[in-house]
């Protein structure tokens, strides 16, 4: 292409035909749009059916007769189910707070600590993310049994925190890796200690990612079943475990109502995680904060 002006490239008949094809959209594989919509329908139609039949006026999972809120009323009127809901909310809230604090500290240490062990530590932190959750649940059960710890509310919390720390670390580390340490160095040059530089300079910059990671952890913990199943004791069961116990005796529209409410709580947490960064003055989408793509 030496000596050929840039404007001359692609101006021949073939180039004009390709430009015309792009304008007409013929170079775009239109079947991909159809394929994408089919995948979305496959994923969300079962959820839509659950939501729809949670409003069914009759006790039927096959025929929808009309709208009614009686199954939601049955759920909220049942003290056992209501207590399980509050237990799940407490577990998710405690998990969110502790896992967010520990995960944020771990992310700062992994990014800012420049040692020969840093690459290995970063890989080690990802192991809980790729480990099957049932393996994590069995491992937690075996550890509690070996240590003689009685299964209770707090064993569920400990298991959820252990599993959630890596999620927080990944989100916060993605944001932190895109930041330089110049501002921290400037703060220390002005007399701040390392801890003050982290507390007064670094954490405020990381705050949107920290909040987003915490809300994501809340959603994951709230509807987690596997860890809760293996670590629950004689105390009140979390709502996912309670639902599983009820399904063994048959599926009723009340289960649909419970599932719909749980989905609303989880979606609310995820949507808040996506939107909250904008309330902190960030122009980027919260999705980029969660995936570590924020500039």
Q: With a cut of 50, say whether residue 28 has pLDDT above it.
A: yes
Same domain, residue pair 103 and 245 = yes
* Predicted local confidence at residue 81, as pLDDT: 85
In a domain, 65, yes or no: no
23 — pLDDT class (breaks 50, 70, 90): low
**288: enclosing H helix or E strand:** helix 286-291
In a domain, 49, yes or no: yes
Greatest alpha-carbon span in the chain: 82
Alpha carbons within 13 angstroms on the beta-carbon side of residue 89 total 10
* Predicted local confidence at residue 238, as pLDDT: 92
Q: Which residue has the higher pLDDT, 199 or 282?
A: 199
Among the listed residues 125, 284, 263, the one whose alpha carbon sits nearest the alpha carbon of residue 212: 284
Q: How many CB atoms lie within 10 A of CB 27?
A: 11
Share of the chain above pLDDT 70, in %: 82
User: Number of folded domains in the chain?
Assistant: 2
Per the structure, the complete domain to which residue 264 belongs is given by 71-291
Q: With a cut of 80, say whether residue 38 has pLDDT above it.
A: yes
* Overall residue count recorded for the chain in this entry: 295
Tell me how far apart the alpha carbons of residues 264 and 272 are, in angstroms, rounded to a whole number. Answer: 12
* Predicted local confidence at residue 294, as pLDDT: 52
- pTM, 2 dp: 0.75
Same domain, residue pair 182 and 40 = no
Same domain, residue pair 135 and 47 = no
Q: With a cut of 60, say whether residue 72 has pLDDT above it.
A: yes
For tokens 């160095």, the residue is 185
Give me the mean pLDDT over the 173-202 stretch: 79
Same domain, residue pair 230 and 111 = yes
Q: Which residue has the higher pLDDT, 255 or 294?
A: 255
Q: With a cut of 50, say whether residue 99 has pLDDT above it.
A: yes
Same domain, residue pair 226 and 107 = yes
- Token pair of 195 as six digits: 């801890």
114-149 pLDDT, tens per residue? 777 777 777 888 888 888 889 999 999 999 999 999
Same domain, residue pair 162 and 203 = yes
Q: Which residues of 200-216 are buried (b: 16+ CB within 10 A; e: fewer)?
A: ebbeeebbbbbbbbbbb
Contact 187, 196 (CB under 8 A): yes
Tell me how far apart the alpha carbons of residues 104 and 40 are, in angstroms, rounded to a whole number. Answer: 34
Q: With a cut of 80, say whether residue 7 has pLDDT above it.
A: no
In a domain, 76, yes or no: yes
Q: With a cut of 80, say whether residue 211 has pLDDT above it.
A: yes
Tell me how far apart the alpha carbons of residues 283 and 77 are, in angstroms, rounded to a whole number. Answer: 44
Same domain, residue pair 153 and 27 = no
Mean pLDDT lowest among 117-121, 168-172, 238-242, 247-251: 247-251
CATH at 235: 1.10.3720.10
In a domain, 58, yes or no: no
In a domain, 62, yes or no: no
């Amino acid at each position: 292409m030496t000596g050929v002006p840039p404007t001359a490239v692609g101006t021949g008949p073939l180039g004009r035909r390709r430009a015309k094809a792009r304008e007409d959209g013929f170079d775009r594989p239109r079947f991909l749009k159809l394929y994408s919509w089919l995948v979305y329908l496959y994923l969300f139609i079962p959820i839509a059916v659950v939501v729809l039949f949670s409003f069914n006026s009759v006790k039927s999972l096959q025929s929808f007769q009309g709208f009614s809120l009686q199954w939601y009323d049955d759920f909220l009127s049942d003290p056992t189910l209501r207590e399980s809901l509050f237990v799940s909310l407490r577990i998710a809230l405690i998990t969110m707070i502790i896992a967010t604090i520990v995960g944020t500290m771990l992310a700062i240490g992994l990014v800012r600590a420049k040692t020969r062990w840093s690459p290995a530590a970063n890989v080690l932190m990802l192991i809980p993310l790729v480990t099957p959750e049932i393996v994590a649940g069995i491992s937690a059960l075996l550890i509690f049994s070996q240590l003689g710890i009685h299964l209770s509310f707090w064993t569920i919390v400990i298991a959820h925190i252990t599993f959630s720390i890596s999620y927080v670390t990944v989100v916060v580390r993605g944001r932190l890796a895109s930041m330089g340490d110049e501002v921290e160095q400037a703060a220390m040059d002005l007399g701040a200690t390392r801890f003050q530089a982290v507390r007064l300079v670094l954490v405020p910059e990381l705050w949107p990612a920290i909040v987003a990671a915490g809300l994501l952890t809340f959603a994951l913990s709230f509807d987690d079943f596997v860890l809760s199943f293996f670590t629950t004791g004689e105390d009140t069961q979390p709502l996912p475990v309670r639902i599983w116990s009820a399904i063994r005796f048959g599926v009723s529209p009340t289960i649909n109502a419970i599932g719909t409410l749980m989905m609303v709580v989880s979606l609310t947490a995820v949507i808040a995680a996506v939107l909250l960064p904008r309330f902190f003055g960030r122009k980027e989408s919260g999705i980029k904060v969660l995936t570590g793509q924020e500039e």
